[in-house]
Each structure stands twice: as structure tokens, then as C-alpha cells.
Amino acid sequence: MNDAPAKILVVDDEPSITEFVSYNLRKEGYEVMVAADGTTALELINNHPFDLVILDVMLPNMDGYEVVRRIRANHTVPVLFLSARDTELDKVVGLEIGGDDYLAKPFGVRELIARAKALLRRATQKEKGLLDEDFDEVIEVSGITLDEGTHIASNQDGAIDLTPREFELLAALMRHAGKVLSRDQLLHDAWGWEYLVETKTVDTHVKRLRDKLQAAGVDPGLIETVRGYGYRFKVL
């Protein structure tokens, strides 16, 4: 991105939503295009260099999850999900398949703008190489080896099957092994989120990560819950 206004695509089949979101984004100085369905959105994304996509989950013909799967096949543009679905599972699914943030409807315009700005800022920092997230080191703690260059975690029995989000969470915990990390710290360190109201999303991911570790023959108790604060990766 440069000094030109950021280009944002808003995808929703409710005209009232696209009008409301577009109006407020344009007030902030952004260039905005809209689409009412996933097929049109993909065509626009393949032909325009967007800096951010704001995407409804429940779309006609092709839902937002499938749209993101197809976006991620060719593009790294940040995606902010909008959805009336507000369970932790919905958030986890949306983020696991490649979304960068998840905002439940109804939402306030200030929160929407704040999250959009955070995603745009992070994308700009990444483009300029200002983020320290692209690690290329190997971490070994408590019998787990984590290669951040290849995104592979393993133990003595072989590779541990993790999704990208689970890998990032494990990496954040292992980088700070022995130290207690709050849920807010994990949201920021693992996934770069600055605005996410329900930190319970971390709890849901931790549970899934523990299940994956146990399935690979690793003691899930390596990730300790520190009541009232957060989590700690145990150093044996």
C-alpha cells in the first residue's frame, strides 16, 4: 500500500448493510466497491487490488466461508467477516479457514472502523517488513519441536496435525515458554488481533490445540491454565 486511499470491497446481500458500511468507510477516506454475492466478489477481487475485504458469512449461492477459501487460493488480502452468527464455534471456523477478524451483527460503526483500520495498518506493516511475525527459527520445548520456517510442529512420533491458527497459537506459547500470557496477549502475539471483544475465542482454540496434542501422544497439560489470567506453556 502507498499514500493512495485504501481500496475496500464490501460484500453483503443486504443493501442496507452495504450502504451503511460503504457510507461510513468513504467518510474515512477509503475507496469502496460493493458486491451482493460471492461470485461477483471473487470476480472483483481477481481484477482489482483490494487492501481489505469486508465479507458477510451468509450470502446467496456461495457462503462467505467458501468465498474465503477461494480467495486464499490466490490472494493474501485481509478479510473481516461480518455475521449474524455469534457463537464461538462460528468465529473459530471463520478464522481457521483464513479470515483475519470476525465482527458479529449488529455492530457499531466505530468498532467496524477501528477493526478495518487495524487490519489495514497490520497489512501495511507486514508489507514494509515492520512485523516480527515472519520467524524462521526452530523452537524446542518439552519434547515438541516447532519449525516456524516450514510451519511444522512435531514430537518424537512425527508431525502434529495442526491448522495454521493452532500452529500460530502454539508458537506464541512456546516462544514465551514458562511465562503466563493473557488472552489479550495471545490474541495479539499469535494472530495480530487488536480488536476482538470475546477473548473466549482463545479458550476455544486452546481446547482444540490440547485435543490435537493429545491425539499426537503429547501431554495436553503442557498448556496450563492460569486461572483468572491466561495460559502458560510448561517447561519440563
pLDDT at 1: 45
Asked which of 40-54, 66-80, 87-101, 130-144 is least confident by mean pLDDT, the reply is: 130-144
| Mean pLDDT in residue range 34-62 | 94
Tell which phi-psi region holds residue 178, choosing left (phi > 0), alpha (psi between -120 and 50) or beta: left
Residue with cell 495436553: 220
d(CA 174, CA 141): 7
| Mean pLDDT in residue range 96-104 | 85
- Compute the mean pLDDT over every residue in the chain, rounded to the nearest whole number: 88
Residue 127 scores a pLDDT above 90: no
Q: Quick check: helix, strand or coil at residue 98? A: coil
pLDDT at 27: 96
Is there a shared CATH topology between the 7-127 domain and the 138-233 domain?
no
Q: Which CATH number fits domain 138-233: 2.70.98.90, 1.10.3720.10, 1.10.10.10, 3.40.50.720?
A: 1.10.10.10
d(CA 122, CA 77): 11
Which one is predicted more confidently, 158 or 2? 158
Residue 30 scores a pLDDT above 70: yes
Q: Which CATH number fits domain 7-127: 3.40.50.261, 3.40.718.10, 3.40.50.2300, 3.40.50.300?
A: 3.40.50.2300
Q: Which amino acid is at 146?
A: L
pLDDT at 132: 52
pLDDT in tens, 138-160: 899 999 999 988 889 999 999 99
Which one is predicted more confidently, 74 or 125? 74
Domain ranges of the chain: 7-127, 138-233
pLDDT at 85: 78
| Mean pLDDT in residue range 85-113 | 84
| Mean pLDDT in residue range 26-39 | 96
Model pTM?
A: 0.71
Asked which of 23-27, 127-131, 184-188 is least confident by mean pLDDT, the reply is: 127-131
Residue with cell 502434529: 160
Write the DSSP symbol of residue 235: P
| Mean pLDDT in residue range 37-62 | 94
pLDDT at 164: 80
Q: What confidence tier does 91 reach under pLDDT thresholds 50, 70, 90? A: confident
Quick one: which of 19, 3, 1 has its CA closest to 109?
Answer: 19
d(CA 140, CA 154): 10
Residue 37 scores a pLDDT above 90: yes
Question: For residue 225, what are the β-bridge partners?
Answer: 231
